């Protein structure tokens, strides 16, 4: 897996927001979304929530999420939908690496790409719309988003679970 340092100009975090909010626990290393192991999704009319983990960060960072030879970093993305083009399939667990019986869950990887397009979020805004795709043999999606919020480490699961709660 390719790794970037937090200051990389081509980082997906440059498009979605603050690196410090997401990557505090990862010691400045930016996870590669080319193998985002999406375990759960939650879709509402305005948002698509993706929750899972990334692997390939340097060993010994101390996430407390290791099993056998794999160390993972939990990641949740809150995608503010502008246009949903398609969603197909569903997230699946990785039968070779998953050890849910011992509280270590790992899903199959999905190649996620985030890039800006020429369309502005609002006519007088400086922010551009994001085109986001996810591709794998089991799960895929394509959409356009106004913005993406990313949450990492122990906050990822909490934020994802909060998205499931019904609010008045």
Q: What is the pLDDT of residues 101-121, one digit of tens each?
A: 656 778 899 999 998 898 988
pLDDT at 4 over 70: no
pLDDT at 99: 66
The SS3 assignment for 37 reads strand
pLDDT for 28? 61
- Residue 167 pLDDT > 80: no
Residue 48: the pLDDT is: 96
Domain map of the chain by residue range? 109-159
For 15-60, the pLDDT digits (tens) are 665 555 555 545 566 777 888 999 999 999 999 999 998 887 766 6
State the chain's mean pLDDT as an integer.
79
Nearest to residue 33, comparing CAs of 131, 143, 113, 117?
113
Alpha helix ranges (H) inside 53-133: none
Range 126-139 average pLDDT: 92
Residue with the larger pLDDT of the pair 74 and 6: 74
pLDDT of residue 38: 96
pLDDT attached to residue 128 = 86
| Tens-digit pLDDT profile for residues 49-96 | 999 988 877 666 555 555 556 778 888 999 999 999 999 999 998 877
**111 three-class SS:** strand
Q: What is the rounded CA–CA span in Å between residue 72 and residue 94?
A: 13
Q: Cα–Cα distance between 135 and 156 in angstroms, integer?
A: 22
Bigger pLDDT: 28 or 3? 28
């Amino acid at each position: 897996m390719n790794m970037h340092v937090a200051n990389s100009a081509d980082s997906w975090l440059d498009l979605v927001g603050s690196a410090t909010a997401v990557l505090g626990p990862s010691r400045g290393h930016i996870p590669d979304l080319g193998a985002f192991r999406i375990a759960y999704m939650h879709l509402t009319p305005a948002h698509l929530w993706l929750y899972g983990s990334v692997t390939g960060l340097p060993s010994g960072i101390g996430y407390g999420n290791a099993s056998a030879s794999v160390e993972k970093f939990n990641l949740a993305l809150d995608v503010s939908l502008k246009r949903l083009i398609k969603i197909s399939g569903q997230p699946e667990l990785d039968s070779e690496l998953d050890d849910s019986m011992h509280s270590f869950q790992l899903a199959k990887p999905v190649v996620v790409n985030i890039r800006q397009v020429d369309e502005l979020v609002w006519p007088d805004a400086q922010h551009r719309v994001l085109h986001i795709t996810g591709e794998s043999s089991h799960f895929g999606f394509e959409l356009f988003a106004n913005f993406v919020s990313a949450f990492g480490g122990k906050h990822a699961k909490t934020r994802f679970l909060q998205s499931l709660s019904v609010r008045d």
